[in-house]
Amino acid sequence: MTPAASADHGARPALRVEVARLVPVDASVAYAWVADPRTHPRWIPLTRLDGGAASGPVVGDPFTMVTGLGVARGRRGVVDRMVVEELTSPSTATGRVGRTRVRKRGPVLLGDAGFDVVPLDASRCRVVWWEEAYLAGPWPRRLAAGAAAPFLRLMMHVSLARLHRRLAPRSR
């Protein structure tokens, strides 16, 4: 975790949790998977899309993810309402980093989160999942962010490993 300034709170520091993974595909392929919330349940465990994102990511689109045991079978879980704030496609030719950023609107988590997709060459990129999120409630933000960080970091590691397995070319 590192201190960072959250976009919605000016210079007030938020804790940043960040996990990166080398993925053996072109940056545009990885970006398509991480930018589109409709793909997230395919590689983020214990998660379902519960509303929004009907046609893919567009800046300003709200969507809701639900995380927890049995959510794929309709059980209740932790509701995470978000809105897409930024979408920048990566470019391997120019070295432009792709970025998707969302604002978390509660009711449990608040703050910002996103993915940076760093092109390395035509067949590899680095996917960086970052969160500047904190638990909503009466607690001081840094305390609430510190409480959420271990769970976020674990979920991010597991999820990016699953993304890697899903996108890695199959040997013949």
Question: Per-residue pLDDT tens for 32-68?
Answer: 999 999 999 999 999 999 988 778 889 999 999 999 9
Domain range for residue 112? 2-167
Encode pLDDT of 62-86 as tens digits: 999 999 999 989 899 999 999 999 9
Model confidence band, residue 29 (pLDDT cutoffs 50, 70, 90): very high
Angle at the Cα of 107 from the Cα atoms of 73 and 13, rounded to 5 degrees: 125
Distance CA 82, CA 165 (A): 26
Query: What domain count does the chain have?
Result: 1
Q: Which pLDDT value is given to residue 132?
A: 94
- Is position 113 within any domain? yes
Which CATH number does the domain housing residue 75 bear? 3.30.530.20
Encode pLDDT of 119-168 as tens digits: 999 999 999 999 998 888 888 888 888 888 899 999 999 999 999 999 99
- Is position 172 within any domain? no
- Is position 21 within any domain? yes
- Is position 64 within any domain? yes
Sheet with 62-67: strands ordered across:
2-5, 13-23, 124-135, 109-121, 98-107, 78-88, 62-67, 47-52
Q: What number of other Cβ atoms are within 10 A of residue 91's Cβ?
A: 13
Distance CA 93, CA 31 (A): 15
Token pair 């993915």 is at which residue? 115
- Amino acid present at 3: P
- Is position 55 within any domain? yes
- Is position 132 within any domain? yes
